[in-house]
Amino acid sequence: MLVPLPAEAGDLAGRLRRVAGLTRTAKAEARTRGTFELTRTRPGTWLFGRLSRRQRLVVMFVTNVRGPAHPLTLAGARVEQIWPVAALGGNVRLGVAAISYDGVLRCAVHCDAGVLPAAVVGRALGDELAAVAALG
């Protein structure tokens, strides 16, 4: 689903409320529509993949997954950490992914280093997350 995110500086709490409202509305609309019609068939998925590598509409994405609130085990061993991966493809230059696990939120930033300086993007995200944490 596509959600236009406000990018203006200023009132952080107001911006968070706007993002939450826009996302809530977009999720409700996306759920009523279901999956994207084109991707319901094998040829459609192939065509969508080819088109997505040449698209010019999306240059970045942000995604989050609510993970389990309790620890998991794998082959009897406790899973200590889970990190998200924001795979880039096509003309997408920046991906920000977040996942919660066992009471901890982790974020990952993946970017096309030939277009965006990764250290600057990471530092900006860290600054914004610190400001959000200071609100609570």
pLDDT, residue 99, reads 95
The reply to whether 101 falls in a domain is yes
CA distance linking residue 114 with residue 16, whole number of Å:
30
pTM of the complete model = 0.70
Structure tokens that stand for 39 in this block:
């991707």
pLDDT, residue 103, reads 94
Low-confidence ranges of the chain (pLDDT < 70): 34-38
93 bridge partner residues: none
The reply to whether 30 falls in a domain is no
The reply to whether 42 falls in a domain is no
Contacts of 25 (CB under 8 A, 6+ apart): none
The reply to whether 85 falls in a domain is yes
Domain count of the chain? 1
The reply to whether 67 falls in a domain is yes
The reply to whether 75 falls in a domain is yes
pLDDT, residue 38, reads 67
- pLDDT tens, 1-38? 777 777 777 788 988 888 889 988 988 887 777 666 66
The reply to whether 3 falls in a domain is no
Domain, as residue range, for 78: 58-135
The reply to whether 110 falls in a domain is yes
